[in-house]
């Protein structure tokens, strides 16, 4: 049986800050169903770990590893959810904190985590065929397997895959950490290894050392090989393009199902949408909006420029003045964008409702109760929210980039094809025009809207499609394809 260790810095349902947490939970479950012995290694963030899961956590063992010439404790816990086993790396000095990231010693914290993941394999006497690393927090594992642990015979056969969820975040650290954190020399500290602009770049090291590099959509895999999206690694990615693939993310169809979602006041499905109309009224009540039949546009997102929150602020000014619509926004992010949206809410009471918060239950109710879901991201490696919204019969309005381009088919007025709306030129005027078009379809062409809604709801984004592609990748690097 194929053995895979999937490792990342976070995983739902324990903790997540974004899409990485969703993927770390859902993808291994789907790969397990492909007949793979897949296990997951994540940190044990003690303060953030949900109390309801603690009774299921078992202490497995403990050992030490060496950092900067001193032994450092590694506690190893385990928990099983469904058919997937999780290994939890426990060290209170590094992980017993109020947050997951953003600390001055993140280089030490996640350097330690990566070494602990590798060294635990001999302790538990389970050597995987493939280690699947994700983003910068684990991107140095392919480097370490060659530069630090290459002398250990059982490790020599391990192949590695690195998935890039967002190229913006790369893990830059000073060269001194090679000695103080990892205890390795500078042989790989060059442009073909992990050196860049006088610093160590963990993600670059992973790209150069991994056997396979994947991104979370086919379009994003192409985009990041260009200067516009490459975040100064486009040259490296072009050089390594032979081992670069794009696999569109999926969603957990069991979790995101309007027929069974317990967050909703009323359940429904594609054959009977009566519950969705009731969920809209319930959402209007919850967000203190008048119960009107005008189209309800929504955005659930980090309020950042990457996510297009600034573009939406500029577009809403004229759109709200000129159209009988309602808009609601849920999210947190850049302070200036939060303030801009709150100011617009004061100017357009009854039309615009803004909730500066992260509330997963409310997000589900928005997917169900809204008519349109706005996702005008400047760039989007994959995006999950647009897929979730479509599953709930809420039509997406997206910028044609990355995974948004790969998952949403723009409405074609001539053929009637489509399951959402999209725009190419990234400016507020174009977004405003698309919002007007969507409003017109909803208000003036209800049969067209209903047809697009059906197209969206039956589109299959289940993880089993992605899992099959990942399995092909594992077989490829193991020479079994």
Q: Are 296 and 370 in contact (CB under 8 A)?
A: yes
The DSSP secondary-structure symbol of 266 reads S
Per-residue pLDDT averaged across 21-49, rounded? 96
Would you state the pLDDT for residue 480?
83
Q: Which of 366, 326, 373 is nearest to 348 (CA)?
A: 326
Q: What is the mean pLDDT of the chain?
A: 96
450 contacts: CB under 8 Å, gap ≥ 6: none
Would you state the pLDDT for residue 18?
82
Computed from CA positions of residues 237, 214, 39, 76, in that sequence, does the dihedral angle turn out positive or negative?
positive
325 contacts: CB under 8 Å, gap ≥ 6: 294, 295, 296, 297, 319, 351, 435, 439
234: pLDDT confidence band, cut at 50, 70 and 90? very high
The DSSP secondary-structure symbol of 13 reads T
Whether residue 32 is predicted with pLDDT greater than 70 in this model: the reply is: yes
Cα dist. 338→317, 333, 334, 345 in Å?
15, 7, 6, 11
Would you state the pLDDT for residue 254?
87
**pLDDT tens digits, residue range 307-318?**
999 999 999 989
Q: Are 442 and 371 in contact (CB under 8 A)?
A: yes
Distance CA 389, CA 370 (A): 9
Cα dist. 254→24, 250, 385, 457 in Å?
16, 12, 15, 14
Give me the DSSP letters along 15-75: B-SSHHHHHHHHHHHHHHTTT-EEEEEEE--TTTS-GGGGGG-EEEEEEEEEETTEEEEEE
Q: Are 287 and 355 in contact (CB under 8 A)?
A: yes
Would you state the pLDDT for residue 165?
97
**pLDDT tens digits, residue range 175-226?**
999 999 999 999 999 999 999 999 999 999 999 999 999 999 999 999 999 9
Computed from CA positions of residues 257, 376, 21, 8, in that sequence, does the dihedral angle turn out positive or negative?
positive
**pLDDT tens digits, residue range 36-92?**
999 999 999 999 999 999 999 999 999 999 999 999 999 999 999 999 999 999 999
Per-residue pLDDT averaged across 249-278, rounded? 95
**pLDDT tens digits, residue range 287-341?**
999 999 999 999 999 999 999 999 999 999 899 999 999 999 999 999 999 999 9
**pLDDT tens digits, residue range 359-398?**
989 999 999 999 999 999 999 999 999 999 999 999 999 9
Would you state the pLDDT for residue 329?
98
Per-residue pLDDT averaged across 413-426, rounded? 95
481: pLDDT confidence band, cut at 50, 70 and 90? low
- Report the alpha-carbon angle 161-77-74, nearest 5: 80
The DSSP secondary-structure symbol of 134 reads E
Phi–psi pair at 7, nearest 5 degrees: -135, 140
Residue 344 in 3-state DSSP? helix
CA 445 and chain centroid, separation = 35
Q: Are 10 and 24 in contact (CB under 8 A)?
A: yes
158: pLDDT confidence band, cut at 50, 70 and 90? very high
- Residue ranges of domains in the chain, CATH in brackets: 3-250+464-477 (3.40.50.2000), 274-460 (3.40.50.2000)
348: pLDDT confidence band, cut at 50, 70 and 90? very high
The DSSP secondary-structure symbol of 181 reads I
Phi–psi pair at 31, nearest 5 degrees: -70, -35
Whether residue 13 is preceded by a cis peptide bond, meaning omega within 30 degrees of 0, is yes
Would you state the pLDDT for residue 19?
86
For 120, the enclosing helix (H) or strand (E) is helix 106-124
238 contacts: CB under 8 Å, gap ≥ 6: 225
44: left (phi over 0), alpha (psi -120 to 50) or beta: beta
């Amino acid at each position: 049986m194929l053995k895979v260790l999937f490792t990342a810095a976070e995983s739902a349902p324990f903790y997540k800050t974004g899409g990485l947490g969703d993927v770390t939970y859902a993808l291994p479950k789907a790969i397990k169903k492909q007949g793979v012995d897949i296990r997951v290694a994540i940190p044990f963030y003690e303060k953030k770990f949900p109390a309801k899961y603690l009774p299921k956590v078992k202490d497995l063992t403990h050992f030490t590893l060496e950092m900067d010439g001193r032994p450092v404790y590694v506690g190893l816990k385990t928990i099983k959810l469904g058919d997937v086993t999780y290994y939890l790396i426990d060290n209170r000095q590094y992980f017993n904190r109020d947050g997951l990231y953003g600390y001055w010693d993140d280089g030490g914290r996640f350097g330690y985590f990566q070494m602990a993941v590798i060294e635990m394999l001999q302790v538990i006497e389970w050597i995987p065929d493939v280690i699947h690393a994700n983003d910068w927090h684990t991107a140095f594992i392919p480097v370490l397997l060659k530069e630090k642990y290459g002398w250990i015979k059982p490790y020599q056969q391990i192949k590695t895959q690195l998935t890039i969820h967002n190229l913006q975040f790369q893990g830059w650290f000073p060269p001194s950490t090679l000695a103080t954190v990892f205890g390795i020399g500078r042989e790989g500290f060059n442009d073909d290894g992990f050196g860049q602009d006088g610093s160590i770049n963990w993600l670059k090291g992973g790209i150069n050392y991994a056997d396979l590099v994947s991104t979370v959509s086919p379009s994003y895999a192409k985009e990041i090989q260009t200067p516009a999206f490459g975040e100064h690694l486009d040259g490296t990615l072009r050089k390594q393009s032979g081992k670069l693939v794009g696999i569109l993310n999926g969603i957990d169809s069991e979790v995101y199902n309007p027929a069974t979602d317990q967050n909703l006041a009323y359940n429904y499905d594609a054959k009977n949408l009566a519950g969705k109309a009731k969920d809209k009224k319930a959402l209007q009540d919850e967000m203190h909006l008048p119960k009107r039949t005008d189209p309800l546009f929504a955005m659930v997102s980090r309020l950042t420029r990457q996510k297009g929150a600034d573009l939406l602020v500029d577009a809403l000014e004229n759109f709200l003045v000129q159209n009988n619509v309602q808009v609601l926004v849920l999210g947190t992010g850049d302070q200036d964008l939060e303030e801009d949206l709150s100011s617009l809410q004061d100017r357009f009471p009854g039309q615009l409702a803004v909730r500066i918060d992260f509330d997963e239950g409310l997000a589900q109710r928005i997917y169900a109760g809204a008519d349109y879901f706005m996702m005008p991201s400047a760039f989007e490696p994959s995006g999950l929210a647009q897929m979730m919204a479509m599953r709930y019969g809420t039509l997406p309005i997206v910028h044609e980039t990355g995974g948004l381009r790969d998952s949403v088919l723009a409405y074609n007025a001539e053929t009637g094809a489509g399951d959402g709306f999209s725009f190419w030129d990234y400016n507020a005027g174009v977004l405003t025009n698309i919002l007007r078009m969507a409003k017109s379809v909803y208000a003036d062409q209800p049969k067209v809207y209903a047809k697009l809604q059906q197209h969206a709801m039956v589109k299959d984004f289940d993880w089993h499609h992605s899992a099959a592609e990942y399995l092909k990748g594992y077989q490829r690097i193991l020479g079994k394809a």
